[in-house]
Amino acid sequence: MGEATREESTSIAQRLAAVAELYVRRRGALADCQWWCADDCDAVAAEVSAVQNISHARAVGQVQFACNLWHRLPRLARVFVSGVIDFRLVATIVNRTDNVDDTVMPALDEAIAGHCVKWMKLSGPKLKDRVDQWVARFDPAGVRVPPAVKDNRHLTIEAGVPGMADVSGRVTAAVGAALDQALDALAATVCANDPRTHAQRRADAGAALARREATLDCQCGLEDCPAGAQRDSAAAAAAAVIHVLAEQSTVEGRSNAPGYLPGFGILPAESVRELAASAKLKPVTVPVGPPDPGYRPSVLTREFVEWRDLTCRWPGCDRPVAKCEVDHTVPYPAGFTHASDLKHYCGIHWVHRPLSKYDREEPPLTRHTLELVRPAFFEFQP
Ligand SMILES: [Zn+2]
Ligand SMILES: [Zn+2]
């Protein structure tokens, strides 16, 4: 299985290398033919589509992709040829480095080629975040939200199939996170006997949101619905609070290192400062002292481990820490109640724990940031 996987990667890399090479060879010859209606890419794609028996549009895409990979990210391409990384990883890197300035590409390529083998086990969203972090490190402008994208924000509600409406739009990540959390919180205010699915309750929560109500009406039909008793506490929980992780220097305007909004990924430095202006700032303390006494971690340790892990630590798992449990890697009391022996696991991966060889693997992406600069996370209440 492993051998076939590596051979598959090598084959794809070699095919793309041939396409990129053909482009370079033809470009010289085609320079004399500028009166042609087809440009270089179209002309090469015509040959590629004939050889590979694919449509012209797909061939054009392949020529552009192959050139980006082999000419902008040659070191990554060589790792791809060796077979240790797959097409999904390469495609994500190529697509997310598209905006990066040509002058920083060689350095970025070298850094990515050196690290990407470790990214194979990352889930799609985590992989995207990881690539964005490296892009931001070399070219902060490469992950900036283009003004045109931000200016285009909108929220549209229009008639759908009879009796239904379609909601769509594009909002800032902070608004999206707040809305997402508010709908989840409202959907959770019914009792366990409610017949609707979570998705349906989220959709119905829109009405409660519109009426500024803190709870969703339960549809269990029971006289003594247990949700009724919990209405008051639910009202308090329904206020959406989003947390953003950012370096102090970004908040103070001394650097443009991006922040991180769990579930939504990289948050450009300008957006971080915009939110921080009206947010409650809290430092994340990196525990440096002796381990906590006892089995349960202290509030400080727990907060630090939450911001270090962000999600379940099982390779490829995206479940946020809010839905995970903190676990001792080496069981207490042989293992200490200290950040180095604590990690988050979700319900699914909890059961794999005794046999896991991943327990001692490196902490995820925030560690580096946390060690370099004392970061702050802040709460933002829209
Ligand atoms: Zn009920
Ligand atoms: Zn998990």
Please check whether residues 11 and 60 belong to one and the same domain.
yes
Residue, of 281 and 369, whose pLDDT is higher: 281
Please check whether residues 265 and 326 belong to one and the same domain.
yes
> Within the chain, what is the greatest distance between any pair of CA atoms?
84
pLDDT, average across residues 332-348? 87
CB 69 within 8 A of CB 94: yes
Please check whether residues 224 and 257 belong to one and the same domain.
no
Domain that holds residue 221: 154-237
- Per-residue confidence band for 30, with pLDDT thresholds at 50, 70 and 90: low
Domain assignment of residue 328, yes or no: yes
Alpha carbon of 326 to ligand 1 centroid (Å):
31
pLDDT, average across residues 260-284? 84
pLDDT, average across residues 272-283? 85
Alpha carbon of 324 to ligand 1 centroid (Å):
26
* pTM given for the model: 0.62
Alpha carbon of 326 to ligand 2 centroid (Å):
12
Question: How many domains are contained in the chain?
Answer: 3
Alpha carbon of 342 to ligand 2 centroid (Å):
15
Please check whether residues 281 and 341 belong to one and the same domain.
yes
Query: HEC string of 197-261?
Result: CHHHHHHHHHHHHHCCCCCCCCCCCCCCCHHHHCHHHHHHHCCCCEEEEEEHHHHCCCCCCCEEE
Q: What integer pLDDT is reported at residue 282 of this predicted model?
A: 85
pLDDT (tens digit per residue) in 207-220: 888 888 888 888 88
Domain assignment of residue 193, yes or no: yes
Please check whether residues 201 and 324 belong to one and the same domain.
no
pLDDT at position 376 over 60: no
Residue, of 273 and 370, whose pLDDT is higher: 273
Please check whether residues 380 and 246 belong to one and the same domain.
yes
Alpha carbon of 176 to ligand 2 centroid (Å):
24
Alpha carbon of 124 to ligand 2 centroid (Å):
14
Please check whether residues 275 and 381 belong to one and the same domain.
yes
Please check whether residues 107 and 120 belong to one and the same domain.
yes
